[in-house]
Amino acid sequence: MNAVGEERPLGVDSAPGAVSPALGVDSEVGTLRTVILHRPGDELRRLTPRNLDQLLFDGLPWVDRAQAEHDAFADLLRGRGIEVLLLADLLTEAFTVSGAARMQGIGAAVDERRTGSGLARDLAAHLRTLPAAELAHVLTSGMTFDELPPDAASPSLVRRMHHGADFVIDPLPNLMFTRDSSVWIGHRVAITSLAMRARVREASVTDLIYAHHPRFHGVRRAYESRTAPVEGGDVLLLAPGVLAIGVGERTTPAGAEALARSVFDDELAHTVLVVPIAQQRATMHLDTVCTMVDTDAVVMYPAARDQLTAFTIRRTDGGGVGIDGGAPFLDAAADAMGIGKLRVIDTGLDDVVAEREQWDDGNNTLALEPGVVVAYERNVETNARLEDAGIEVLRIRGSELGSGRGGPRCMSCPVARDPVRPAEEHPARQ
């Protein structure tokens, strides 16, 4: 109960008495009201030099420091009046109120093709006995063969032939990048399909939260893909009705087209820009090279400024789609947004500095409102250039959080933002 005797919404750790805003997002920069974060936990302690590449990390994070950095990030958001929903709490609460949520989570985690039928039955039976919080912990941090209960009902060759430290349930160390597994478009949520094997199950965790947590009761889906990969880091809501989707290492052309057709069918967008990006880790998502910092401004890696192009997809009168290709991305974006020109803030004039800060997620900012962003403090040149352009930069530490190659935008899934005014209605920033 809060101070006035009313129950707080499940999953909320914002100030007591806070009123939960309506869910929905129509831009990258509308005033942020509610966001989903995942505090990194024991899943990061599962990382070793042997499995780093497989689990998509570039180094072994100091977990306690990563947690402290993430706590500071969450506290900064709360200090700005933003409601923070923690994914682990949402997952636990979904398991508490819904048996179907438990079955869905267990079903996604137990892979009979890896374990064999006997061990799969024993493992699922064991997971069904766990309290909600413990089940949530296992499904996010994983389980080794050594951690299986010793009194299995069925003999298992798989269990005998695996080393005790091998995973019978894989950990999800990338779960802290909550942006990728779901995207809000208007008042609907798109559940994505993640491309890399190490991340596939993240979408099932997100899916069951939206399906079974009371906070999201009645929320309709904008898109659900089980085949064509599309990830949230590649989806930018440039303006109401205008999406940009990067196609590269993680999102495929088929995924981008499927999402475009879906948002057209639901009348959530009138224009989708599909933007090819290099298929490499340094530019795994569109938001690693470009993010919105104001209604009419982006921060962008200078090497991409003149190279990015866009295929413009629009709904035709007959219900189909029309595709125009080859236009410079910045021109196509300004045209779709109905503004004369996008302001572009480069991440540095020096090529070496720009490349270093792009790698360290200098372009991966989280807008809290028009002209106010959160960024890693280490990207000194990028942050200075943002401030020179009139953008307020709220700096956070990310020496350990960045080991998975993700910045403040990657680590946050906005679920409620205020609608934005058209760019031309905002006074010019000095």
| Options 198, 222, 374, 410, the catalytic residue | 410
How large is the C-alpha radius of gyration of the chain?
22
Give the CA-trace dihedral at 362, 367, 371, 374, to 10 degrees: -50
User: Helix, strand or coil for residue 244?
Assistant: strand
Task: Indicate if 413 belongs to the active site.
Answer: no
Query: Count H helices, E strands: the chain?
Result: 14, 19
For residue 294, CA distances in Å to 36, 203, 272, 394 come to 21, 29, 19, 14
- CA–CA separation, 150 vs 120, rounded Å? 14
The number of beta carbons lying within 10 Å of the beta carbon of residue 227 is 9
Pairing of strands 297-300, 290-294: antiparallel
CA-based nearest residue to 30, from 345, 337, 416: 416
Distance between CA atoms of 190 and 185, rounded to whole angstroms? 7
Catalytic positions? 410
